[in-house]
Amino acid sequence: MSRSLREICETIGVEYRGEDRRIRGINTLAEAGPDELSFFHNEKYRSDLPETRAAAVLLEERFAGELPEGVIPLITDEPYLKLALATVLFAHPISTASEPPTLLGACDIDPTVRFGKNVTIGEGTVIMAGCYIGDDCTVGAHCLIHPNVTIYHGCRLGNDCILHSGAVIGSDGYGFAHTREGRHIKIHQLGGVKIGDAVEIGANTTIDRGALGDTVIAGGTKIDNLVQIGHNSEIGENSLIVAQTGISGSTRLGRNVVMGGQSATAGHLEIGDFATLAARCAATKSLEGGKVYAGVPAMDIRLWRRQQAALMRLAKGKKIPQ
């Protein structure tokens, strides 16, 4: 799917009279190619402006001079809102059309399973009753998909994966731009979900598709029941995510991270390799690897234990040792 740049600008209400180009998608400043549209609305990403390879960028006029030569500035005082309007043009078309999947070997698939178009299933995979696998999905070899699992379009599942009942892979991330009048405009989620080999996903767990690019679950990771993973998050290999954990969008977990039950992260932060977050811990900023954290906000568990002991002493009217 591609669109004329002039068509895009007319649709979203941005003035443009220059050279026309074909645009095949939308991407971040850092990742966009010469046939993609990008946007800039957050100072955090300003260093990406002079390096971007995008065909055109939605941005305020005061930043236009920072773009590389040949990148077209699309001037607007609401770049994030205009991005949201542009995503409509590249959203996957929703359809009830179905066709038999391509099977790469003998599989055991219940007759009630419904497929979209262009689905590929690896050898030895078992898919139980009531599942749906959407357009352009790939499921690896020797997977086990329990009843009533939903896999939205454009998702990729590795080999030897287990998905338990009610899991939803590739639902829309929670993304909206806001008008000055207070309306919330949906940002259509254009990415997918990529799941590595030997991943297990618990019952009623939800993994959102990426807004731009993929949400990634690396191989060997084990995810418990009732976990929510937000759009564009990246979970490192061999991580353990315990029940009722919530991971906000664009969070990056290193390898072998452990998140205890009902723990959580804010968005756009990083948790280092081999970090452990105790139950009900909340990470509000990036955390170093190789440590154990507890509390709200997350802190070294030794400090948290001392804090709890001090609070108990205060509650009992006792003197706190120095």
Here the tokens at position 289 are 């690897």
What are the tokens at 146? 């329990």
Asked whether the beta carbons of 191 and 208 are under 8 A apart, the reply is: no
Token pair of 280, please? 């009900």
Measuring CA to CA, how many Å separate 28 from each of 53, 110, 192?
10, 40, 15
Contact predicate 273/291, CB 8 Å = no
CA 64/CA 49 separation, integer angstroms = 9
| List 92, 153, 164, 231, catalytic entry | 231
Pairwise CA distance, residues 82 & 80, whole Å: 5
Q: Are 202 and 216 in contact (CB under 8 A)?
A: no
CA dist 26 and 24 (Å) reads 7
Task: Specify whether 231 is catalytic.
Answer: yes
CB 42 within 8 A of CB 83: no
Hey, which residues are catalytic here? 231
